[in-house]
Amino acid sequence: MKQRLVATMPLISLFMLLVSGFVFDNWKLGISFLLLVPLSLILLSDHLARRIHQTMPLITVILFLWLAFGFDLAHPGWVVFFLIPLSDMIYRGRIDARKMVSVAITFIYIFIGIIYPRAFFPESLRILGDSFWHPGWLMFLLIPIINNLFFPNKSNIIFMNKAQWKNTVKNYIYDKDDDNVY
């Protein structure tokens, strides 16, 4: 059944494109239905969790474009990009200190962005104007700064000696699972 659905998905997405365009007069939304073709290949494959984890950047871009062009919701739609690190944490099943820094700064960014122009800041302290969202994204630059200062990645090439570097390159070239050379 999965193979038949994947094979039929181009026709289904074309049908949805035409219905959205002719019936609802929303061609932008209809064009976004064409993205169901690669999405069906992802979602209807074996090892669903691994496949979703590997293609989460593509899925979030598709979802964002669908929200932006189909429903004119680009501003709140950018939140779907937080699904990329969230899916990585769920798939790997562990959260280390480096990831907690990312989660904490993201939470602080969203929290301050929601409350900034409201109750906590009087008019005299609103140095950024009425919105925190635009200049506030600069706080995401704190993630690599904090992680490199307090939680260095010991597997980084800077910390490797010559033998470790050669072993890393060899492991990258030779896939141990398939014994194939790329």
In this model, does residue 14 exceed pLDDT 70?
yes
Residues whose CB is less than 8 angstroms from the CB of residue 98 and which lie 6 or more positions away in sequence, other chains included? 147, 151, 153
3-state DSSP call for residue 152? coil
In this model, does residue 145 exceed pLDDT 60?
yes
Q: What is the pLDDT of residue 152?
A: 77
Q: What is the pLDDT of residue 59?
A: 85
Residue 155 lies in a domain: no
Q: Provide the residue range defining the domain that includes 76.
A: 1-90
> DSSP letter at 132?
S
Lowest-confidence pick of 70-79, 100-109, 150-159, 164-173:
150-159
Q: What is the pLDDT of residue 49?
A: 81
Confidence class for position 35, pLDDT limits 50, 70, 90: confident
> DSSP letter at 180?
E
* Dist. CA 165–CA 169, nearest whole Å: 6
Q: What is the pLDDT of residue 91?
A: 86
Residue 148 lies in a domain: no
Residue 64 lies in a domain: yes
- Number of domains, the chain: 1
3-state DSSP call for residue 94? coil
Under a CB-based contact definition with an 8 Å cutoff, are residues 16 and 25 in contact? no
> For residue range 113-134, what is the model confidence (pLDDT) as tens digits?
777 655 555 565 555 556 677 7
pTM of the predicted protein model: 0.53
Residue 43 lies in a domain: yes
Residue 131 lies in a domain: no
Confidence class for position 18, pLDDT limits 50, 70, 90: very high
**CB pairs under 8 A, 24+ apart, for 42-46?**
44/2, 44/5, 44/6, 45/2
User: What average pLDDT does this structure show over 5-33?
Assistant: 91
